[in-house]
Amino acid sequence: MQGILAGKVALVTGGGRGIGAAIARALAGAGARVVVCGRSKLDLDAIATSIDGSAHAVDLLDRAATDAVLGTIGPVDVLVNNAGAAESAALDRTTDAMWDRILELDVTAPFRVTRALVPGMIARGWGRIVNIASNAGLTGYGYSTAYCAAKHAMIGMTRALAIDLARTSVTINAVCPGWVETRMAEEAVARIAAKTGRSSDEARTSLASMSPQRRMITADEVAHAALMLCAHDARGIHGQTIVIDGGAVLK
Ligand SMILES: NC(=O)c1ccc[n+]([C@@H]2O[C@H](COP(=O)([O-])OP(=O)(O)OC[C@H]3O[C@@H](n4cnc5c(N)ncnc54)[C@H](OP(=O)(O)O)[C@@H]3O)[C@@H](O)[C@H]2O)c1
């Protein structure tokens, strides 16, 4: 897929580490000029330097700051809504503040960024939107009410917008990974180990065992799917959920 994004500009939210950093590298490798954003300037600068891209520090929970950054980036051809967070809690410990935080970051911010950038894509006659959802957007998981609700909402948004965008040259899809080897998974491992007294290795094995393949996904596997969706020959893939979880959601 070398060169398929030559001349295109891509914005990857949460592109400073984990899945977002892998996607930023993959899109840059295909010729895109990549802009990464997130809160940690150090992480963002390191990635941007390595791919000859640019970095914008922004907290996506801050709507005004997000709008200000979008106003400075210029036209964007590929939008990857990747920034996200998961917090784990039983229902009685799922506070209003936690609910609002997760819904704002995992679905409202992607909605607002998409709404800002889609008109330019339509006007220029080409665009790709890739929403990094989760298999938690397709099924329920324990202690994850807010996260599952947000990821289900992101998939609903993807499907609805696919109808609205079908007569344009802009596609929108959701990628739904299972557990991926990133900081988010390591935080889950630490939480499980602390709560259950299991070792970190045992906790990691229990997460990996949720997949019939008995392993976690790598960030590069998710990046491969995101890049594939940007190809010209992927223009018929629209409003879909690409699940990358070794079959976990089938169990
Ligand atoms: N890891 C998994 O097992 C897994 C599975 C399915 C889906 N996903 C999804 O994949 C996406 C990426 O997650 P990851 O695994 O790569 O986790 P990660 O390593 O924790 O990365 C999360 C990214 O989001 C950014 N971010 C978090 N809060 C932000 C905020 N308020 N404003 C701006 N950026 C923010 C982070 O940057 P800063 O901290 O610098 O802001 C970071 O770049 C998420 O949407 C997640 O839900 C992950």
Above 90 in pLDDT, residue 2? no
pLDDT of residue 121: 98
Decide: 231 in ligand 1 pocket, CB within 6 A.
no
CATH homologous superfamily, domain 9-178+218-243: NAD(P)-binding Rossmann-like Domain (3.40.50.720)
Ligand 1 geometric centre to CA of 167 (Å): 32
User: Which ligand 1 atom sits closest to the C-alpha of 147?
Assistant: 47
What is the DSSP code string of 75-132?
A: --SEEEE-------B-GGG--HHHHHHHHIIIIIHHHHHHHHHHHHHHHHT-EEEEEE
pLDDT, tens digit, for every residue of 81-95?
A: 999 999 999 999 999
Task: Answer yes or no: is the C-beta of 43 below 6 A from any ligand 1 atom.
Answer: yes
Task: Report the alpha-carbon distance of residue 208 to residue 41 in Å, rounded.
Answer: 31
Q: What is the pLDDT of residues 129-161, one digit of tens each?
A: 999 999 999 999 999 999 999 999 999 999 999
Q: b/e string for 205-223 if b means 16 or more Cβ within 10 A?
A: eebbebbeeeebbbbebbb
Q: For residue 86, report the distance from its CA to the centre of ligand 1, in Å.
A: 8
pLDDT band at 251 (very low <50, low <70, confident <90, very high): confident
pLDDT, tens only, 39-95:
999 999 999 999 999 999 999 999 999 999 999 999 999 999 999 999 999 999 999
- Measured from the Cα of 177, ligand 1's closest atom is 6
Residue 21 pLDDT class (50, 70, 90 cuts): very high
- How far apart are the C-alpha atoms of 116 and 127, rounded to whole Å? 13
CA 16 to centroid of ligand 1, rounded, Å: 9
Residue 80's pLDDT is: 99
Query: What is the percentage of the chain residues whose pLDDT exceeds 90?
Result: 99
Listing DSSP states for 113-129 in one string gives HHHHHHHHHHHHT-EEE
- Assess whether pLDDT exceeds 90 at residue 7: yes
- Specify the residue with its C-alpha closest to ligand 1, atom 42: 14
State pLDDT tens for residues 155-192: 999 999 999 999 999 999 999 999 999 999 999 999 99
Annotated domain spans of the chain:
9-178+218-243, 183-216
